[in-house]
Amino acid sequence: MVFPLELPLVPAPASATVGDGRLAITSTSRIQGSSPAAAQLAAAVERRTGLRLETAAEGPADIELRLDSGVAAAEGYTLRIDDRAVVTGDDEAGLFYGVQTLLQLLREDAGGWALPHVEIADAPRFARRGVMLDVARHFFGVDDVKRFIDSTSALKYNHLHLHLSDDQGWRVHIDAWPLLTERAATTSVDGHPGGFYTKDDYREIVAYAATRHMIVIPEIDLPGHTHAIGVAYPELVEEPVLNDALVADSERLGQPLPVAGETYLGWGVGHSSVRIHEERTYDFVRDVVRELAEMTPGPYIHIGGDESLGTPQADFDLFAERATAIVVAEGKTPVAWHEMGSAANIAEGTVGQYWGKTTPEGTHAAEAAHFVERGGALIMSAANVTYLDMKYTEDFPLGLTWAAIIDVRSAYEWEPTAVLDVPESAILGVEAPLWSETTRTLDEVEQLVFPRAAAQAEVAWSPREGAGRSWESFRARVGRLAPLWKAEGVDFHPAADIPWSER
């Protein structure tokens, strides 16, 4: 089996062989299938080529979509293209991912639009393949989030983590605590406009994500990153704790320091905490988790837990125990950043999200391992390779550098199971976060996300030792996604280390 570079596929499939010949796609080509993926395929072909293909639930066709639960593992598919194209999905998600592969193969040559003769069998390495969008530092509306879902699900991501609250703003309406969106959602970093999702907005995002086989994970960051809560409900939050690093960074960046009860326009961290010994705080957590759980069909609620620098460890431990128990009581699996693993009695089964570096520092590895000891598992988001908000180069106009400068090769060449001393089975998968301190628009988000999200998608989906799993192969293949991304309006960064194709 070979994996020729002429196959412009990202992530690389588990197996692929190329035959001679091409299947022409013209205005008379027909799609057959009753799956929603059939209509999605027709719409994408029209955006890409201008050709409007007929779709039908049955009858002869040039492209046929089928379901067969025995064809592959969950989310897997097969694709055979000769005198016609047949995509067979193990489930609806597999069929959707097979369609994304078909769209990447669709090319225009001297004879018009065509698909190469290939045979592909494919299924994901990791069940959990996620991206995160921070809508708290800067807010992004429903249409922007839908666009982000479209572009990332096309790379076979299946989880969208929405960072809905932070010091700078609260971004989802909660009926029991209405002042959160009335008073704490009006601004963003540097005084830029804010915003929030109504419950109908949030449900619309969740439903749209489901059509692209993405599970939404809402995050309310606690007990730190909670200054915005205090703007709405001062009785829930302690006075800001001004650490030396915060003061120095605020001076360097020309940003204000946090003031209790006032909206915070900087992006320093570690200064805020809810009042851990007030029972009212847990009424608040319970109400928020319950209302999010009611709107979120997916299994997870993320409760944060990172950078609580002003919270004494004993208080942090108490909060972690009670907050994770609240999530479990509402029928969801808690997810938390790895620092919450420092608490002895986090709820059993809590999932940890590791954001330390590929060479763990301090207590990070032990904190992450504690989730596994408590019957949970881990999501790998090593900051020095997966954080999509880091700069590509020192002089790149967007992004930060505190974790690393991450070029595309650095984003690609890492192994999620080699970072921590835990069983490989404890690694659920990979998530690539985009923090939004420096991004005001979705175009700016996309500049940071693409092409590095393609690198993380291949790390998460493709076999570790599979054909094509090398930097040289990847850089050639991702460069050939440029025409598709342009057709879909993705504002990717044309990184200099990638040979970008025009066709």
Distances (CA, A) of 90 to 98, 127, 312: 10, 14, 49
Amino acid in the structure at residue 388: L
Contact 274, 226 (CB under 8 A): yes
Handedness of CA 276, 303, 299, 201 (dihedral sign): positive
Ordered alpha helix ranges (H), 154-296: 179-183, 199-211, 227-232, 244-253, 279-295
Looking at the chain, the number of H-run helices and the number of E-run strands are 16, 18
Q: What are phi and psi of 147, to 5 degrees?
A: -60, -40
Region label for 21, one of left (φ > 0), alpha (ψ between -120 and 50) or beta (otherwise): left
Given the residues 54, 307, 330, 444, the one annotated as active site: 307
CA separation, residue 372 to residues 4, 59, 420, 421 (Å): 39, 51, 11, 11
Q: What sign does the dihedral 490-493-494-495 (CA atoms) show?
A: negative
Q: Would you put residue 112 in left (φ > 0), alpha (ψ -120 to 50) or beta? A: left
Nearest one of 285, 303, 186 to 237, comparing CA atoms: 285
Whether 444 is a known active-site residue: answer no
Which two structure tokens, joined as six digits, stand for 350? 């809590």
User: Is there a contact between 71 and 94 (Cβ–Cβ < 8 Å)?
Assistant: yes
Beta bridge partners of 162: 133, 218
Catalogue the active-site residues. Answer: 307
